[in-house]
Structure 1
């Protein structure tokens, strides 16, 4: 019998396979070897992908035990990802049954090449030409694979296909008109136009195909209890049963609803009105600076030397963005982090409270942005890239309890230190209701005791969501099992870990040291991090 495979080389193969099979995700993560390509979703390609996934999983499970604990974590998380990926590729939740897989990848495969200046424009345009030329074949693979889909999934794919058409027919010509003269050679400009027209025709054909795609029924939107349990155990590394988690989510929802009822709703303060050039972006920057000062003055954590620049969305993408998974704050490329990251602000100026809570604290400030900076410096290779935003979701579900749990915890933290106004604290209580409701829907929908329509009704009646928002949220939950419960479970786990470390360390406890140590692990499951940090704290006390 031969020696067990080297764990580092096993991980090398895992990442090489991930980026080759998910080239659009690779672009967002900052690995640019595949910027010309789309996922191979031909029947043969999917078969090879599934076989490769299973073989790589066996290899990771059988490799030599690593001495480095971070490599051990990477093996565990990568192995878990391969298990959930194998399930998805073999189920109707993957490319064979979800038309939005194709529309999301298609739109963002183009957008990813133009949204940031990660390489010289000429190089990015060369990749754009290649992707546009291959787009018709990619969409044809979708037509060959898809036999039926839940009507709500097809509706979302139809909207995304409309956004893709807007991007190809109007967005790209607008982007091209803004390119500096002489940077792109004449023949390449002609190729962009030729391939753009062909790609738009292919997108129109795919939209017509979607109009005739049979309805698979609402039950097809549920992954099933076994699949949901798989995602909870092998992506989030939660050792609680599905029933236990569902009951806990219902209990927390009830508590949050009662807390909102007990709270007296304060009056919403008037928002600041700023006039003149740059006034819209200046308001965001003022709040960002205020959050940073508070965090540093109170010594809450290490604030990164990684500025945010609040800017408007580029004109060429604005129309398409309305019907896509287009984020205001999109995680920077983990493997090619820019010195300054651009935050694309909403087209309509929101209230001051929304700027502070959502666009600064949760996303652009102490929440996601600070967490990303720490993650990109982590020893764990998986922890650096897992929470990068890709076409329709983050790179690995395993990064979710850290990324989303931390962002929710960070908002709690700013309330704890007195930074939030009474109105913002009330909004956060209402937000907690929505967070708990999402966990309930995620667990019940995929356990099979709630339909997609019932999930929409639940969001409206129990979380106060408007019908369109409720529908969009329920559809997203149904496509990605385990993607909504991670907010609540991650947040609660961080609070629980902090309480344990405080109890162990007593007067030695430092909030800054706790946060920095926690964040240094990167975007890994909080359950794994909590186990290690608790053990390390006990060892230090017993020395």
Structure 2
């Protein structure tokens, strides 16, 4: 093992030690029976261990000779710098939703279907660890002035976690009688944690300096926050005009908002919802021929959310699609379809075919996250294999975001190049998606640089962007907790588009090589592709 390989494995060991729930999602062995260590002593040890490894890495005078080594070295430094600074200035232990999210997904990570049997002993161990984990959280948070919305999010998650503990676990196919009493004790601890939370009035913004640090050190973006904001504003204005123009060409008498609302009527019959997801996934795989090589060798099956998770899923970061652990992925994965509730008509409007096609079949499934995740597992960079893993509250490494989300948003538009895949009305929907992504980039920057309050951000989303009212609060609260996460969608997509125009490779060659590098900042992948194709030749 080389010096670099040794450091990468040391870092992953540290990551798993302090974030064992992440380790479960990644498939890193030996940590499934633990919740994260918390409290002042644990935070001090994390800072010390990260600083010690970073000092050794930054003193290295060796050379990374291959693309995989260069990406590993950059990602290693990035993860150490970002994680250390956050541990010093914005510790996750000072966020009440950290405790509810880790507790919930500490269990869920072990309960999701896998090629390995459910580790029932690990579930039991995490159930037993939950009361002390949450009690320590209560002591840690008690003296802090907490943003009010962070507290509200934690309380919502606590309610969902209680439902999982008291009613969901017993419905799991591998439920054990010995889980019942520890689950009841854990539920009482969750309730006590939520009741002890005190609403404060702290500003959730991270500040311009920290935001630009994340843009530079996590995303490897060359521009300042001000330059990115200016670019996103210009795009937002242009895309808004494009929406008006496209809508006028389709139907001069009706606005783009009215025309998009009509798409909700294009839905399958209730009994055909599941088959519609699978059908459009398969059609997208076929339509991508000549544009990218889809992951046909790695299956994706669409199933309704299992009963054990249904009551808890709504308030948690319970995704439609999660790639299985990279360390033991098996031969395929599941895509959850949320089942109908009491209002069947509203449910079917949400299950409209244009949305299923673009968001579920393309963005998350087929050539989007599904293919991207499958290709990442073969990357030469060890850290780029793992960085895009969905964990308790987001991807494992923020540095993976411009590729992970940049690619999935880009993939939606890529199939515009497949004749007949989208209708003209669906092209209007895609334009709205890009309009919203540019808006979210703007909002991310303006919130965290102090130009907007959360209330102003919410008014922008509601009045100028057109987000559904039920989505606005959750979207903005999440963005306030995780700075530099919403900007990575639109900025990542732009880097991919510009690189493709610059290199002028055959589409399938370009896209396959882009995805072959794994989950790393797309600007670094662009540098590696320029090395390989200095004149854009195959």
TM-score when normalising by structure 2: 0.92
Tell me the secondary structure at the aligned position of residue 308 of structure 1: strand
Question: Is the Cα–Cα contact under 8 Å of residues 301 and 511 in structure 1 kept in the other structure?
Answer: no
8 A Cα contact 1:7 1:65, kept in partner = no
Q: Deviations over 1:266-324 (max 9, x none)?
A: 55385354465xx332111111111111112x353354411110001110110000101
Q: Is 2:81–2:217's contact at 8 Å kept on the other side of the alignment? A: yes
CA contact (8 A) 2:168 2:308 kept: yes
Residue matched to 1:392? 393
Number of matched pairs: 512
CA distance in 2, matches of 1:93, 1:486: 22
Q: Measure the CA separation in 1 of the matches of 2:159 and 2:392.
A: 16
Q: Identify the match of residue 214 of structure 2 among 219, 227, 231.
A: 231
How far does the alpha carbon of each residue in 1:352-378 deviate from its partner, in whole angstroms, 9 at most, with x for none?
111101110100111110111111111
Q: Equivalents in 1 of 2:535, 2:14: separation in Å?
A: 38
Q: Which of these residues, 495, 518, 521, is aligned with residue 522 of structure 1?
A: 518
SS of corresponding position for 1:109: helix
- Secondary structure in 2 aligned to 1:522? coil
What is the SS of the residue equivalent to 1:66? Answer: coil
1:21–1:40 CA contact under 8 A, matched in 2: yes
SS at match of 2:519: coil
**2:375 is the counterpart of 1:378:** no
> Match for 1:89 among 80, 87, 90?
87
Instruction: Provide the rounded CA distance (Å) in 1 between the counterparts of 2:232 and 2:291.
Output: 33
Contact 1:77 1:234 in 2 (8 A): no
* C-alpha distance in structure 1 between counterparts of 2:292 and 2:82, whole Å: 36
1:324 paired to 2:326 = no
Q: Distance in 2 between matches of 1:269 and 1:316?
A: 29
Query: Matched residue of 1:329: which SS?
Result: coil
Structure 1 residues 432 and 302 mapped into 2: Cα distance closer, same or farther (>3 Å)? closer
On the 8 A contact 2:67/2:380 being kept in 1, the answer is no
Residue 250 of structure 2: aligned partner:
none
What residue ranges of structure 1 are gaps of 5+ in the alignment? 503-508
Alpha-carbon distance in 1 for matches of 2:443, 2:292: 34
| 1:341 to 1:302, Cα distance in 2 relative to 1, 3 A | closer
C-alpha deviations, 1:75-116, integer Å up to 9, x for none?
2112112211122212345212x1001111111111111112
Q: 2:192 aligns with which of 205, 208, 221?
A: 205
Runs of 5+ in structure 2 lacking a partner?
Answer: 248-255, 341-347
Q: Distance in 2 between matches of 1:79 and 1:70?
A: 14
Contact (CA 8 Å) 2:64, 2:73: kept in 1 or not?
no
User: CA–CA distance in 1 between the matches of 2:160 and 2:265?
Assistant: 35
Match of 1:105 in 2: 102
* Equivalent residue, structure 2, for 1:409: 410
* Matches for 1:182-197 after TM superposition, within 5 Å: 189-197=176-184
1:135 aligns with 2:130: yes
Question: Residue 152 of structure 2 aligns to a residue in which SS?
Answer: helix
- 2:332 aligned to 340, 343, 348, which one? 340
Matched, 1:215 2:208: no
Give distance in 2, aligned partners of 1:306 and 1:139.
Answer: 39
Aligned-CA RMSD value: 1.8
Candidates 67, 71, 74, aligned match of 2:72: 74
Measured in 2, the distance between the counterparts of 1:519 and 1:533 equals 11
Measure the CA separation in 2 of the matches of 1:382 and 1:445: 30
1:501 match: 503
Corresponding residue to 1:256 among 235, 239, 254 = 239
Partner of residue 159, structure 2: 162
Counterpart Cα distance in 1 of 2:98 and 2:23: 16
Change (3 A) 1:83 1:216: farther
* Change in 2 beyond 3 A, CA 1:375/1:106: same
Query: Is the alpha carbon distance of 1:138 and 1:118 closer, same or farther for their aligned partners in structure 2, counting shifts above 3 Å?
Result: farther
Contact kept, 8 Å, 2:8 with 2:383, in 1: the verdict is no
Report deviation, 1:216: 3.5
Query: Does the 8 Å CA contact 1:152/1:475 hold for their aligned counterparts?
Result: yes
2:343 is aligned to none
Q: 2: distance between equivalents of 1:198 and 1:449?
A: 44
Structure 1 residues 272 and 156: CA distance shift in structure 2, 3 A: closer
Closer, same or farther: CA 151–532 of 1 in aligned 2, 3 Å: same
Match of 1:506 in 2: none
Seen in structure 2, the aligned counterparts of structure 1 residues 75 and 346 have a Cα distance that, compared at 3 Å, is same
Contact 1:160/1:324 (8 A) holds in 2: yes
**Residue 298 of structure 2 contacts residue 331 of structure 2 at CA under 8 Å; is this kept in 1?**
yes
Residues 386-425 of structure 1, C-alpha deviation per residue, up to 9 Å, x if partnerless? 1110000100001100010000111111123232111211
Given candidates 51, 54, 75, the residue that maps to 1:57 is: 54
Q: Aligned partners of 1:128, 1:302: CA distance in 2, in Å?
A: 35
Aligned position for 1:537:
533
Q: Confirm whether residue 427 of structure 1 aligns to residue 455 of structure 2.
A: no
Contact 2:378-2:518 within 8 A present in 1 as well: yes
Q: Distance in 1 between matches of 2:470 and 2:91?
A: 22
2-side partners of 1:61 and 1:118: how far apart? 39
1: CA distance between counterparts of 2:473 and 2:239? 22
Equivalent residues of 1:331, 1:388 under 8 A apart: yes
Distance in 2 separating the partners of 1:512 and 1:73: 23
1:138-192 CA distance string (max 9 Å, x none): 11121111122100110000000000100001111222xx33xxxx8xxxx4431
Note the alpha carbon deviations across 1:436-486, whole angstroms, 9 max, x for none: 111001111111111111111111122111333112111111111110000
